[in-house]
Amino acid sequence: MKRLITTLAILLVVMVAGMTALVLLVNPNDFRAYMAQQVEQRSGYQLALKGDLRWHVWPQLSILSGPVTLTAPGASQPVVSAENMRLDVNLLPLLSHQLSVKQVMLKGAVVRLIPESDRQRPADAPIGPAGSAVPSVIEDVTRGWKFDISHLQIVDSLLVWQQNNGEQLNVRDFNLRLDQTQPRQATLEFSSRISRDQRDLRLQFSSDMDITHYPRQISAAIKQLDYQLQGADLPKAGIKGQAAMTASWDSAGQRFSLGDIQLSANDSQLNGKITGTLGNRPLIVADLSSPSLDMDTLLGITETAGDEAAQQSQRAGRAPVIAESAPPDNADSPLNVIDGSLNLNVAKLRWRGIDMDAVQLHANNQQGLLTLASLQGQANGGRFSLPGSIDVRSPQTKVALKPSLQRVGISPLLKAFNLPDTISGELSLDGDFSGNGLTVAEFNHQWRGSADLKLDNAQFAGLNFQQLIQRAVEGNSDKVRGERSDQPILQQISGHATLNNGLVTFPDLSAQSTMLNYTGSGNVDLAKRELDINFGVTVTQGWQGDDTLVRRLQQTPVPLRIYGPWSTINYSLKVDQVLRLQLRDEAKQRLKEWMGRNPDNENRNDVKKLLKDM
């Protein structure tokens, strides 16, 4: 054991002595010109190292530098600048005074992908013949590069990217690690934070990359991607989840493919694939499916939040307020920039409190016109179909829909559109609607259309027409009384409705049930949140008492008006009109009987005149 310890101590002393001698004998500044020359030969970029280079021997033999910049030919700003750089080098090549780098680490770097950092054509450069190919951005950046560094690491850095529209996007806390495990095979780890418009996106992912045919082709398997999005106009808890997929890129045809997608967002999941091409006008084809998609959670919508102010309370905050509201503008809408198609199948979908099953969506976008060829599924015990189109080619979004419902529960629909859910039943509807905008507020103010509707098993919560009329009659007459029943009266209501900028008009409504029949007409003002509807209600069953009055009540509609704001709905019932008619008929009958018994009475002419005036 003593010999082993002695041997290890001797080896340690030899290594320390060798490293010390190497540091003293080899000056890292001797490699300064060599590194700059190698970078320029391989890429044309200029590497500038400021300050002296120095050794760092533990735990890894490294060369440390001060500020460093990498500048493209003719560029006014460097594409990469860093506070310091660390080069982990191999020991044995240094014995022959050769530099072999196995890892490059940049700390506090700024990566600029902006026009000022792009390669510039020299003023005296020859101009190629007309029609000659112009190198793509990827070819320009990667021309001449040979990736033969085992490890590349960028820590606590900033990426500045200027988009085509001139806006700059700052990617903060930029961390990148690239390890070449085998020739042309690499492992990539990335994390960053992007802040914009009071929203914060955090990303972290790891993937295996195949760069055998780089830069023409790249393929990768993204093993895990974690993200979290928080900020204005988002749910308070934000949107977070994970993803995994395979990805490939073909620079020649500018084609990409995302396959085996497994994406989670809060309580929702998406699976499938996305393919497409990039260029002046990208084309994207998506084929996706989902076992569960909860739009309420993703959009911060709750069933109890009835208006926009209440909905806002469920979100983290509002987007930046602009002093003067700008007119509608769809110039930056993705539909005006990207063409494509979407096939989406959702097993369970939730939107504004409506639970839907087996939802199928087939949509195509062409030059800003999105066609909903098919949007159908099951909801609230029935089926629905909602084909139509969304046009964003003009500043104002134009929508056209032709809904068709078959026995769909109406209560969740009323809640979804912020309407009083005082009526229940199964709605069947065929309509044609169009308008500006997609929000509920825009639907309540800027839509038009009409529909034929039928409501089966309808019930009015807190409003029993039969009991209202029976109690009013009993209060005005002691000749009849109504039968009390706690059983709900199920009605079938049918009619036609028109929508004109928030005003829903019912020109004719009719309803039948086992106990009563009625007709009605009126309107509902969605913008002002008030209604005014007149009914003629006939209670056909449930009367006891005077036979003549009962027959009258079973045949005569009683005027009923329901009106006022939704918060305090009023009603007016004119049952006294029916009773006055009954009294008048009884008086006529008795006068006629009197005339029959007194044919020679001198007051006969006066009685005839009275009958005529009645």
Q: How many CB atoms lie within 10 A of CB 279?
A: 10
Q: What is the chain's mean pLDDT, rounded?
A: 79
Percent of the chain with pLDDT over 90: 28
- How far is 614 from 606, CA to CA, in rounded Å? 13
pLDDT value of position 609: 56
Residue 237: alpha-carbon gap to chain centroid: 16
Reported as a single tens digit per residue, the pLDDT across 444-476 is 889 999 999 999 988 887 777 777 777 777 776
- How far is 256 from 245, CA to CA, in rounded Å? 13
The helix/strand count (H/E) of the chain reads as: 13, 35
Q: Label residue 513 by pLDDT band (50, 70, 90).
A: confident
Helices 576-597, 547-555: inter-axial angle, 10-degree rounding: 130
What does DSSP say about strands 84-89 and 62-65: parallel, antiparallel, or unpaired? antiparallel
Reported as a single tens digit per residue, the pLDDT across 156-211 is 888 888 766 667 778 888 898 888 777 778 888 999 998 877 888 899 999 998 88
Reported as a single tens digit per residue, the pLDDT across 78-119 is 988 888 888 877 766 665 666 667 788 888 888 888 888 887
- How far is 139 from 547, CA to CA, in rounded Å? 98
Q: How many CB atoms lie within 10 A of CB 355?
A: 14
- How far is 513 from 541, CA to CA, in rounded Å? 10
230: pLDDT strictly greater than 70: yes
Given 3-state DSSP classes, what are the helix, strand and coil percentages for the chain, each rounded to the nearest 5? 20, 45, 30
Structure tokens at 460: 């009015």
Q: Label residue 302 by pLDDT band (50, 70, 90).
A: low
Three-state SS at 567 = helix
pLDDT value of position 146: 46
More confident residue, 369 or 10: 369
pLDDT value of position 451: 95
Range from 172-176, 432-436, 480-484 that averages highest in pLDDT: 432-436
Structure tokens at 401: 């829909």
